[in-house]
Chain A
Amino acid sequence: MSKKPTAGPALHKVIMVGSGGVGKSALTLQFMYDEFVEDYEPTKADSYRKKVVLDGEEVQIDILDTAGQEDYAAIRDNYFRSGEGFLCVFSITDDESFQATQEFREQILRVKNDESIPFLLVGNKCDLNGIRRVPLAECQQRAQQWQVPYVETSAKTRENVDKVFFDLMREIRSRKTEDSKATSGRAKDRCKKRRLKCTHL
């Protein structure tokens, strides 16, 4: 899907993915409005937009908060296509949600057909470290396997909330400048090359 070039600030499109109840909406709302929402209300698909200053440059972030619930799985493809970067969230108190990240990762790669799409693995609810179910080492290992950063956050205490969004935007931004350097003809090769590189590793 191609967009007309905007005259205004650059727009970075972020998609929140992850199982239901892991805190995608909580993270989004904390980032957007500095608020923590205690109630759980399953999301269908909500989008938000906000102007932020990224390394001195004004940019816009577009956050698509998707549904974690299983019964929405079929519709995800449609949403994923528009994303330029993904925050793949699980709860460190819920092992099942951690296992599910595998599926999300695969679906994203399938839809985007790009192994190096900007992507962060996010372990949320780190304020609940006391009832942790997913060992830190396991999380780090998976991130390394995917060649993506791993960050632990808390939507409740706001720990690392800005960090995950800004880190992802930086990745998206650098991907865009890289893309604009490459001619359109080479763009496809690049994807293939990446693929190759990844399978080598």
Chain B
Amino acid sequence: MGDLIKEFDNPNFSVERYTKQLVKECVGGPDLQKKKKEIQAYSDKTSATLKRSVYANYMQFIETAKEISNLESEMTQLSLLLHEQHNILASLTDGAAAKTGEDNDKEFHNEEEAENMHATRAVKEMVQGFNGNLEGKTFLCEGALTELDSNDYRPVQRVFFFLFNDVLIVCKVKHDKRLEFISEYDPKKIAVINIKDLNGVKNAINIITPDGSKIYQSITPAGKTEWIEQFEVAFRWDQQQKKPKKGPAPQPPKPNNSNNLTVDISPTDSQSAVVRKEENMAPDWIHSATDEIETFIAQRHFEDAESLIKRCKDFLQQSKTFVGVVEIEEKVMQLERQLADVLLQELSKCHARNLEVALRSTRRCLQILVNMGKARQASGTLLKVCSIGLRTAQKEARKNNAKISELFFCDLAQVACAFLLSFESQPACVSALVVWCNAELQYFASQLKKHYLTKGSHLESIAKCVEGVRKPCAKLTEIGLDLSYHLEGLLRADLEDLINESRLRLLETVGRTDDPWQPFNLHTKSNLKRLLLELEVLGIDMRPHTTGDTWINLTQSTLNFTRHYLQLTNHCAYLAKSEALSKSCQVLLRDLIIAQHSLKPDANLSVDPNFVAKNKQFLCEELLPIAISIFRRISGSNPDILRTIGIIRQQQAAPIPKKRSVYQTDVF
């Protein structure tokens, strides 16, 4: 088989050659069959190994793949952002340079060179699928536009244009904000139409390329004008030697001068525009901003919508004197409300089967809502989503017999962390989280009671269940959530009932089996050894009571009780960690040992009274003190009720020895 592996691994391995060789070598059918089996075995083994190694690292594999793709998209977004930042900076320095005058022509030239280089690099780095040569071209303009359907003018997709003197590069903006090359055109073959009137669609241009005519929408009127101008510059590049005309970047809003106004204003207003020149006019961008915000919301570019709203609000705060300020302000407010509503709705739809997935998908909406100052509403909605996720997970876990308590508190912790991450600085929200946690805890407790702490449950399973809840609950204090007290309060009444119920049930079983009141013979040494070991593990050393090789000088009933009692002590002590339950637990242990203590031999039975007394003495003087110390150790508190039994016993113990009255006493 080793040879086989070597052969298959050979990079020059050819199936055809190998088969031919095989046929040549093999003598007859059976030989071939054998070979076939060998190869089959090898194939099976390989696929098994592959499967195993995939399984072994499966989760890691998935996680890593996810991480990588996340990182990748983050990186591209980052580079896109950086690029945008650069452009803004560049346009700012442009503006500064223009102001200082024309004497620094050289510098200007250098700057242009740098811009060309930068744009060229940007295209290379950001545009997937473009590998044309941009060497020596002059960069004119770039920016995002929205392509509209030519029939109903609804947005079709976001595109990004890079315009150079002799090429237009058209890219699609994908959902992860990466750019995907669509096509390139020669600007001399492009006709640009300024759409002045298109059933209310604003800032649209029609670009006719050899591939057809398409409508694009710019964010601002200034952006639209810029594109029309730059397309013309590109169109006439060869005719006129380049006029170093660099328009402002499409974005930064500047109060437009009247010259610009008359160009873009609708014809109806063009006469009055001259008159209005002197009035305080709002910048163009703010007029179209409301439409843009609406578009952004419709296209689910929530971040863009939010930032534009913010820009509007900032602007409105500074100057409130221009024409139409009231309408615009009102509209912006209304859009802000709309955006918040949409986001809250989005947020409320984020619930997924898996809480973690749900939390991750809420992040985007949360961030924007917090930025918008809607933290309170957002936190409320988030918690509702989490409730659904949490409860679904619980149901699933219950079905699969998984550890619901750990899951619950883990989930709770996860929600709390995610929540604090988003709303840390909002005290009102943090208190909402606390209220929510308590509500969820209440629901959890009700489920716990319904499914796990049912009537008739054994003390052991009750103790395990409660312990299983307490531990992860206590862990939450690590993140500053102390729910233990509340939890105990929620469970207390039910647990008390269960303990009392157990007590009555256990009391009924005491003395059920007929006891011959004879020393216990275990018949073999190993039996005896096993029993001693078992009891030692429970915390009591019975060796002093052994006699002979196989005897214990106590009744079988006493020994059985001892074993059972020590186990119960354990469970009770765990439950009694909560002080509130300590009392009923101790009462249970007290009543039980009293019941055992007061057992009397059958009247017809001839029994050595000393032996009876010895058994009782064992219960009081050995078993009880050990139970008390176990109880104290586990529960961490002093079992006062159990200890009073001892006191009473000791008070009465003095006159007792050898008197028949010993086993007639019901109370020590």
Contacts and interface: CB of A to CB of B under 8 A. Distances in A.
Interface of A: 1, 3-4, 6-8, 29, 32-33, 35, 37-39, 41, 44-51, 64, 71, 74-75, 78-79, 81-82
Contact of B198 (A33, A49, A71): A49
B183 interface: no
Contact of B213 (A4, A7, A82): A82
B267 interface: yes
Nearest to A45: B193
Nearest to A25: B267
B9 interface: no
Contacts of A7: 151
Given A35-B267, A47-B198, A78-B190, 17 more contacts: A6-B151, A7-B151, A8-B151, A8-B152, A29-B267, A32-B197, A37-B271, A39-B270, A44-B228, A45-B192, A46-B193, A46-B194, A47-B206, A48-B197, A75-B235, A78-B191, A79-B193
B267 A37 contact: yes
B83 interface: no
Nearest to B201: A49
Interface in B169-192: 188-192
A57 B151 CA distance: 19
B232 interface: yes
Interface residues of B, number: 31
28 contacts: A1-B212, A1-B213, A3-B150, A7-B151, A8-B151, A33-B267, A35-B267, A37-B267, A37-B270, A37-B271, A44-B194, A45-B192, A45-B193, A45-B194, A46-B194, A47-B197, A48-B198, A49-B198, A49-B199, A51-B199, A71-B236, A74-B188, A78-B190, A79-B191, A79-B193, A79-B208, A81-B208, A82-B213
Given A49-B198, A79-B208, A4 B193 contact: no
Q: Which 8 A-B pairs have the closest CB atoms?
A: A78-B191, A48-B197, A45-B193, A29-B267, A46-B196, A47-B193, A46-B194, A6-B151
Contacts of A64: 193
A39 B265 CA distance: 14
B407 interface: no
A75 B206 CA distance: 14
Interface of B: 150-152, 188-199, 206, 208, 212-213, 228, 232, 235-236, 239, 262-263, 266-268, 270-271
Contacts of A1: 212-213
A33 to B, nearest CB: 5
A38 B196 CA distance: 19
Nearest to B268: A33
B154 to A, nearest CB: 13
Contacts of B232: 44
Contacts of A51: 199
A3 B150 CA distance: 9
A50 B193 CA distance: 16
A78 B151 contact: no
Contacts of A47: 193-198, 206
Nearest to B153: A49
Contacts of A46: 193-196
Nearest to A76: B191
Nearest to B191: A78
Contacts of A48: 196-198
A148 to B, nearest CB: 25
B151 A50 contact: no
A28 B537 CA distance: 104
B311 to A, nearest CB: 29
Contacts of B190: 78
Nearest to B232: A44
A2 B239 CA distance: 33
Given A47-B198, A82-B213, A4 B191 contact: no
